[in-house]
Amino acid sequence: ESISVKDFCDKIGKTVTDVMTKLVSMGVFATINQEIDFETAEALALEFNIDVKLEGAEEEEAEYGIEDFEDDPKDLKDRPPVITVMGHVDHGKTSLLDAIRETNVTAREAGGITQHIGASEVYVDGKKIVFLDTPGHEAFTSMRARGASLTDIAILVVAADDGVMPQTKEAINHAKAAGVPIIVAINKMDKPGSNPDRVKQELSEHGVLVEDWGGDTISVPVSALKGEGIDNLLEMIVLAAEMQELKANPNRLGAGVVIEAKLDKSRGPVATVLVQKGNLKVGDPIVAGASFGRVRAMINDKGKNIKKANPSTAVEILGLSDVPNAGDTFNAVKSDKLARQIGEKRKAKFREANLNSTTKVSLEDLFMHIQEGEVKELNIIVKADVQGSVQAVKQSLAKLSNDEVKINMIHGGVGTVTESDILLASASNAIIIGFNVRPSSAVSSMAERESVDVRIYRVIYEAIEDVQKAMKGMLDPEF
């Protein structure tokens, strides 16, 4: 860890005289061939406003060879929107996705076999829209719980003959928690009992104001079954997307998120990834979560092999060492060696920190987090056996907010605590309060895995008191 004065001059591109003068002024008397240690070299370089690093250290950094620079705005190009379809069961999410794909097959070359890769691409007036094919907010929220935000717009499907149902509300809350704008598709308009006005009114009761209710949420009547209104819906999506001015730099190493992954008997680990920035090419060394490899082939949603995927493209990739998790981020890197090193490092790290180490709030450590200024808001999910309790808790909690911490009830509903609640809590760093409900053991162990604080009470008063105490750091620790 030393360098001769002469080499030092060469490295920083300064003349020997300049360097010697500075050295002397620092009180170091050295000849041109004498070695100086790293600390001296560092201080000396600083005199010239140059930041030096040990060669080893530079290598270490390069080892972590994932490009994470901010893009220069001039490198950003428009990118297509990525859409998720959400809504209550049986309201027609799957049918809508099918209808959308069908309208598109006629528009493009017919007979193209659509292959299920977890996403599909649709063209409207030559503009691409990407649909994530796994409908439902579980998929949406589990991704978000893992830190991946994929969706630019959420399509909320509501059946016109059924109206706003529990999972509709959940979907609304999930989208809101993620800050993703909603477009409402009022489906099953062909049905005799359809009543779109009632849907709009019910939506307004849940904080979604459609345009004819004075709000700015777009709603489109459709019939997924008959294929009616689909074009209109697609056009609205294009419009909404244009307002968002979605951009990405297509000219850097590809990066994005794993949407789905599986082990295929003949093809090995197969992952569908969404490229979010840069471009991914066949032959690129890649890491996805803790798995690594080299992109051996890329297949698009039409079942075609492609060589290169730009931002907002979903492709199936082959060539990974093992199966990554949905929600893992992926990165193309400069060399196979780097990919392997990063993958191995992550594997070791995951093994070590088996438990997810992100700090989740719990009532017990709430005060500490408030004190440290880490928590300014406490998100709460309330589940109860009767609607009255949910309302009562909501009102009582609202009164607890103070200057230091704001209490938000991000979701409330009747019924027991479900896996979907845990996911939402995990993604939104919320605690769950339940009244007279008993979560299943599967839900409890999931809560433990995700470090979500679930508290079950019999009386509202006790819950409010606990939250109050927790805010003051006076909650008795639980055994």
Residues that bind ligand GDP (CB under 6 A): 87, 89-95, 135, 187-188, 190-191, 223-225
Is 460:396 a contact under the CB 8 Å cutoff? yes
Is 254:306 a contact under the CB 8 Å cutoff? no
73 is in an annotated binding site: no
Taking the C-alpha atoms of residue 286 and residue 256, their distance in angstroms, rounded to an integer, is 11
411 is in an annotated binding site: no
> Residue 93 Cβ, how far from ligand GDP at the closest point, in Å?
3
78 is in an annotated binding site: no
Between 151 and 223, CB nearer to ligand GDP? 223
Q: Token pair of 469, please?
A: 């105490």
> Residue 157 Cβ, how far from ligand GDP at the closest point, in Å?
6
Is 129:241 a contact under the CB 8 Å cutoff? yes
Taking the C-alpha atoms of residue 8 and residue 38, their distance in angstroms, rounded to an integer, is 10
> Residue 447 Cβ, how far from ligand GDP at the closest point, in Å?
26
* Antiparallel, parallel or unpaired: β 406-414 and 377-384: parallel
Between 40 and 173, CB nearer to ligand GDP? 173
Closest CA to 309 of 128, 151, 155: 128
Between 191 and 346, CB nearer to ligand GDP? 191
> Residue 91 Cβ, how far from ligand GDP at the closest point, in Å?
5
The terminus-to-terminus CA distance of the chain in angstroms comes to: 52
Closest CA to 452 of 466, 439, 469: 439
> Residue 158 Cβ, how far from ligand GDP at the closest point, in Å?
10
Mark 459-473 as b/e (b = at least 16 C-beta within 10 Å).
Answer: ebeebbebbeebbee
> Residue 194 Cβ, how far from ligand GDP at the closest point, in Å?
9
Between 86 and 295, CB nearer to ligand GDP? 86
Please, where are the H alpha helices in 334-429?
A: 336-352, 363-371, 387-400, 419-428
188 is in an annotated binding site: yes
134 is in an annotated binding site: yes
> Residue 92 Cβ, how far from ligand GDP at the closest point, in Å?
3
187 is in an annotated binding site: yes
229 is in an annotated binding site: no
133 is in an annotated binding site: yes
Between 133 and 453, CB nearer to ligand GDP? 133
Contacts with 446 (C-beta within 8 Å, 6 or more apart), sequence order: 419, 422, 452
Q: Token pair of 238, please?
A: 């294009």
Taking the C-alpha atoms of residue 407 and residue 392, their distance in angstroms, rounded to an integer, is 14
Between 224 and 339, CB nearer to ligand GDP? 224
> Residue 132 Cβ, how far from ligand GDP at the closest point, in Å?
14
> Residue 94 Cβ, how far from ligand GDP at the closest point, in Å?
3
Contacts with 420 (C-beta within 8 Å, 6 or more apart), sequence order: 137, 138, 141, 170
215 is in an annotated binding site: no
256 is in an annotated binding site: no
Is 257:288 a contact under the CB 8 Å cutoff? no
Between 90 and 231, CB nearer to ligand GDP? 90
Note the maximum CA span of the chain. 96
Taking the C-alpha atoms of residue 303 and residue 268, their distance in angstroms, rounded to an integer, is 17
Length of the chain: 479
Closest CA to 281 of 304, 315, 327: 315
Torsion (CA) 257, 263, 264, 270 in degrees, nearest 10: 20
> Residue 458 Cβ, how far from ligand GDP at the closest point, in Å?
35
Between 141 and 329, CB nearer to ligand GDP? 141
Q: Tokens 């995951």 — which residue? A: 350
H/E run at residue 17 = helix 16-25
282 is in an annotated binding site: no
189 is in an annotated binding site: yes
Phi, psi of 432 (to 5 degrees): -115, 130
Between 134 and 272, CB nearer to ligand GDP? 134
Taking the C-alpha atoms of residue 401 and residue 157, their distance in angstroms, rounded to an integer, is 34
439 is in an annotated binding site: no
Between 20 and 86, CB nearer to ligand GDP? 86
Q: How far is CA 261 from the centre of its chain?
A: 16
Is 224:232 a contact under the CB 8 Å cutoff? no
Annotated binding site: 87-94, 133-137, 187-190
Residues annotated in the binding site for GTP, as ranges? Answer: 87-94, 133-137, 187-190
